[in-house]
């Protein structure tokens, strides 16, 4: 039965109305997956031989020690990006197919997601290297099976807590408290992780613990989903009573204030936008990558990190304008909404969050003032230049967004556009190149000043740039309306 379901999904893909675009996106996804596969396999070699030859420690113990961090990060990523797909299952509920089979099929599909199995490549590669370097084959196999089941547990934890925000916030606070206790050496969290996970190698029979947990959670999730597995119950779109909210002081800014008010409400109320806020917060720590490789310490890559540290919200939110309003965009167009004020409201919201990110990023001063000053200059460039180019690229984003679903639909029709990719040149490559060259010829001060000047220049020319962007939105108006109305 599972194979029949897979064949139907393959037929659905090739019979879709946008096969060419979807196929292109699948190819790009495949290339991205190959890249991460290479990184994870290479990381396994580095983790084993660097720890053994340079640090003169047991690689298996060191990896086991830090796997607790990887497990927590995996759970967070799955909560943000992975959701069980029910849309393809709904048509089968009216057929004579056992619901138990459908529920189990949905569970199996979560394990086929790249987010679920990619980390296994690191563990497989590391295990093979360990076996060829004198470790017990039985012990390594038990270690691999044990940690695999531990990581697959996250799929079921994500299902159970998917719509329980209070529980998720509580668990997030627990993670933060545990991380703090471990960081300040109050509780030896990493030592506990090492002892527990290394026990799979020392005493292979301990793998019964994650196996029992895995199948126990499978049964619990099965009963939880099966109980709600009806078109008019668990799979029905959730309906909530609307609440009137208003941020009063924004009203004095006229139409722009009204649009900002609406966007703030949207960010607070919906799953997709809440995920963007969480993702924007994590972008603040993107600069920590400078510790992972020497390439990230080059001037161009430091500027690249600065653009992401201060512009996480801008890139995640801004480039999806007006896609976030896709459900009511046709109505907006019938009300003669002023495009310029509509876009300016998005621009001000983006820049307010960017300015806040620049202030929060002050903790990078710990790594040197040069690092923070570079990030500050990148923030100015984001506010003056990238904020407008990001909104410009939004004119070509015609992908409908369901605000109540966390599922990312990057394979949809009209989600791939060459013009939007070309706008990456002034957004990313231009500041990286200018900063690298200016720093090479004029030193750190020259590099920072050159980027700051570009940012300020863009800020002062914003009215003229906005006029160009508005013309582009009007030019794309009818194709955007057609894309947002077409639900296929």
pLDDT in tens, 119-150: 889 999 999 999 999 899 999 999 999 999 99
In this prediction the pTM is 0.59
The closest of 128, 120, 182, 184 to 154, measured between CA atoms, is 120
pLDDT of residue 410 exceeding 60, the answer is no
Listed by start position, the domains of the chain span: 20-227, 248-485
Could you write out the three-class secondary structure of 228-279?
CCCCCCCCCCCCCCCCCCCCHHHHHHHHHHHHHHHHHHHHHHCHHHHHHHHH
Question: What crossing angle do the helices spanning 477-485 and 462-475 adopt, rounded to 10°?
Answer: 50
- Kindly indicate the confidence band of residue 415, based on its pLDDT and cuts at 50, 70 and 90: very low
Provide the CB-side half-sphere exposure for 306 (13 A, CA): 33
- pLDDT score at 149: 94
Mean pLDDT of 382-387: 88
- pLDDT score at 487: 55
- pLDDT score at 224: 85
Least confident residue range of 24-38, 283-297, 386-400: 283-297
- pLDDT score at 414: 39
- Kindly indicate the confidence band of residue 111, based on its pLDDT and cuts at 50, 70 and 90: confident
User: With pLDDT > 90 as the criterion, what percentage of the chain qualifies?
Assistant: 19
pLDDT in tens, 155-203: 898 888 876 777 777 888 888 888 888 888 888 999 999 999 999 999 9
pLDDT of residue 71 exceeding 70, the answer is yes
pLDDT of residue 417 exceeding 50, the answer is no
Give the chain's mean pLDDT.
80
- pLDDT score at 216: 94
pLDDT in tens, 276-325: 888 888 888 877 766 555 555 678 888 888 888 888 888 888 878 888 88
pLDDT of residue 407 exceeding 50, the answer is no
- pLDDT score at 330: 79
- What's CA 426's distance to the chain center, in Å? 23
- Kindly indicate the confidence band of residue 242, based on its pLDDT and cuts at 50, 70 and 90: very low
- pLDDT score at 251: 66
Mean pLDDT of 324-347: 81
pLDDT of residue 91 exceeding 80, the answer is no
pLDDT of residue 329 exceeding 70, the answer is yes
pLDDT of residue 231 exceeding 80, the answer is no
pLDDT of residue 39 exceeding 80, the answer is yes
């Amino acid at each position: 039965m599972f194979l029949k379901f897979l064949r139907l999904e393959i037929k659905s893909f090739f019979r879709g109305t946008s096969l060419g675009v979807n196929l292109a996106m699948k190819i790009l996804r495949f290339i991205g997956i190959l890249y991460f596969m290479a990184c994870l396999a290479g990381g396994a070699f580095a983790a084993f031989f660097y720890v053994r030859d340079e640090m003169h420690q047991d690689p298996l113990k060191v990896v086991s020690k830090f796997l607790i961090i990887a497990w927590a990060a995996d759970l967070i990523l799955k909560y943000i990006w992975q959701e069980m797909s029910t849309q393809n299952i709904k048509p089968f509920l009216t057929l004579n197919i056992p619901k138990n089979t459908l529920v189990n099929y949905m569970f199996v599909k979560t394990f086929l997601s790249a987010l679920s199995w990619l980390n296994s490549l690191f563990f497989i590669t590391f295990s093979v290297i360990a076996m060829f370097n004198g470790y017990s084959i039985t012990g390594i196999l038990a270690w691999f099976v044990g940690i695999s089941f531990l990581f697959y547990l996250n799929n079921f934890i994500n299902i159970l807590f998917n719509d329980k925000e209070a529980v998720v916030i509580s668990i997030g606070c627990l993670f933060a408290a545990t991380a703090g206790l471990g960081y300040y050496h109050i509780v030896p969290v990493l030592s506990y992780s090492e002892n527990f996970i290394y026990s799979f190698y020392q005493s292979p029979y301990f793998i019964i613990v994650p196996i029992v947990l895995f199948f126990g959670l499978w049964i619990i999730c099965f009963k939880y989903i099966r109980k709600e597995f009806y078109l008019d119950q668990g799979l029905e779109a959730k309906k909530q009573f609307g609440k009137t909210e208003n941020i009063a002081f924004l009203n004095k800014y006229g139409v722009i204030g009204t649009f900002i008010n609406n966007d703030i409400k949207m960010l607070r109320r919906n799953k997709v936008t809440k995920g963007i806020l969480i993702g924007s917060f994590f972008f603040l720590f993107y600069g920590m990558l400078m510790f992972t490789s020497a390439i990230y310490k080059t001037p161009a890559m430091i500027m690249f990190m600065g653009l992401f540290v201060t512009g996480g919200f801008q890139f995640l939110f801004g480039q999806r304008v007006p896609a976030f309003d896709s459900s009511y965009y046709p109505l907006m167009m019938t009300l003669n909404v002023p495009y310029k004020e509509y876009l300016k409201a998005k621009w001000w919201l983006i820049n307010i969050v960017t300015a806040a990110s620049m202030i929060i990023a002050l903790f990078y001063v710990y790594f040197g003032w040069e690092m923070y000053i570079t990030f500050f200059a990148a923030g100015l460039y984001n506010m003056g230049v990238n904020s407008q180019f990001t909104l410009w690229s939004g004119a070509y984003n015609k992908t409908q967004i369901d605000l109540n679903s966390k599922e990312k639909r990057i394979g949809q029709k009209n989600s791939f556009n060459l013009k939007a990719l070309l706008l990456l040149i002034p957004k990313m490559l231009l500041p990286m190149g200018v900063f690298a060259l200016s720093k090479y010829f004029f030193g750190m001060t020259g590099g920072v000043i050159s980027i700051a000047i570009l940012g300020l220049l863009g800020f002062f020319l914003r009215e003229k740039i906005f006029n160009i962007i508005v013309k582009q939105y009007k030019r794309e108006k009818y194709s955007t309306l057609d894309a947002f109305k077409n639900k296929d």
